[in-house]
Amino acid sequence: MSFFSENRTPVLVVFLLVAFLLLLSFQVRVPDAGVRLHSTLLAICSPVARSSAGVVDGFGSVWRNYLYLQDLSRENRALQRRLVHLQVENQLLREADREGERLRGLLALQDQVARPTLAARVISLEVEGPFRVAVLNRGRGSGLRVNDGVITPEGVVGRITAASGRMSKVQFITDPSSGAAAVVVRTRVQGMVVGRGDNRVEMQYVSALADVETGDVVTSSGLDGIYPGGFMVGTVTRVGDGEGLQKRIEITTAVDFRTLEEVLVLLAGPPEDEHEDGS
């Protein structure tokens, strides 16, 4: 008894450190519970984070709308939003065109139909530490679900890994624990794109005999059910010998994650709540 009362702080530190290690291992063993816990904490932080984003937006908005070219700013933002949608649509159409040529138009037209998307703003970004994640200002209330894909006009960003009612967290494809099915456009060689923890990704499970060269464009293949096929992943910057009979392929991502501000979420299902929260 006296030992604990005399050493309260060291005992507390040891307890907390062990508890955090157990928490880390628990999330690895039971990912669903980890997602729920993450979503709950995200919900707790949501009011402060969203209010702060609102304050910044508010000041920015005052500047843009009342002090600096009021109408032009509004029109410009509307056009930028439209441009984002059109660029995404353009990517889909280009891939559909390639697919059509390859299969001589035998595929059904339904493959060209885009999934519904939702624009979201990045309110927090982590691209320096061991993880590559961002927090978005949209959550389950806007129709997002865990595992929804996230893209920009430049290409694939990542997937939703936790979602509260009004915020969600995105794991980038550059995160070391991420993975996405991908294909080399020129030769249709398939593989799995895995983050390396820096700002590049690696394509794995590609045979040493496969035809892949530096400069080849890599897009999502759609086989993982998260990202539809045809979205730009990046460009091959190095091809070398990997483990065993596999190639080691390094890809520079098309998306610059450091400058990410707005993204599109590929919705999987209908929204739980149609109410838009105005951000």
Partner 1 sequence: MKTALRAVAALAAAVAATVMLQAIAPWAQDEVDVFLLVMVFYAVSGGRMQAVIMGALAGLTQDVFASQFLGFHAFTKTAVAYLVGGLGARLMLGQALPQFLALALATILDGVLMAVLASMSGLPPRFQPGSMFKMALVNGFVGLLVYGVVGRGLPWSRRRR
Residues contributing to the site for partner 1 (CB under 8 A): 8-10, 12-13, 16-17, 19-21, 23-24, 27-28, 34, 37-38, 41-42, 45, 48-49, 51-53, 55-57, 60, 122-131, 133, 135, 161, 169, 171, 175-177, 196-198, 258-259
CA dihedral (75, 80, 82, 83) in degrees, to 10, reads 140
Least distance CB 228 / partner 1 (angstroms): 24
For partner 1, the closer of residues 34 and 100 by Cβ is: 34
* Residue partners of 5: CB distance under 8 A and separation at least 6: none
Measured from the CB atom, is 51 or 76 closer to partner 1? 51
Least gap, CB of 13 to partner 1 (angstroms): 5
Whether 258 and 126 have beta carbons less than 8 Å apart is answered as: no
Question: Which one, 43 or 217, has the nearer CB to partner 1?
Answer: 43
CB nearer to partner 1: pick between 104 and 258: 258
DSSP track, 48-88: HHHHHHHHHHHHHHHIIIIIS-HHHHHHHHHHHHHHHHHHH
| Distance in Å, CB of 105 to partner 1, minimum | 43
Q: Nearest 5 degrees, angle CA 167-CA 49-CA 70?
A: 95
Tell how strand 149-152 and strand 262-266 pair up.
antiparallel
Q: Which positions ≥6 away from 85 have C-beta within 8 Å?
A: 117, 264
Least distance to partner 1 from the beta carbon of 197, Å?
4
Q: Shortest Cβ distance from residue 142 to partner 1 (Å)?
A: 18
- Strand 149-152 and strand 168-172: the pairing is unpaired
- Residue number, 118 or 127, with CB nearest to partner 1: 127
Q: Nearer to partner 1 by C-beta: 11 or 86?
A: 11
Residue 69 neighbours by CB distance under 10 Å = 11
Kindly list the distances between the CA atom of residue 188 and the CA atoms of 77, 174, 199, 218, 230, in Å, as whole numbers in the listed order: 37, 22, 24, 9, 11
Residue closer to partner 1 (CB basis): 49 or 267? 49
With H, G, I as helix, E, B as strand and everything else as coil, classify residue 39.
helix
Q: Name the residue nearer to partner 1 (CB basis): 41 or 245.
A: 41
- Rounded least distance, CB 261 to partner 1, Å: 8
Q: Which residues contact 253 (CB under 8 A, 6 or more apart)?
A: 155, 156, 173, 174, 199, 200, 201, 233, 234
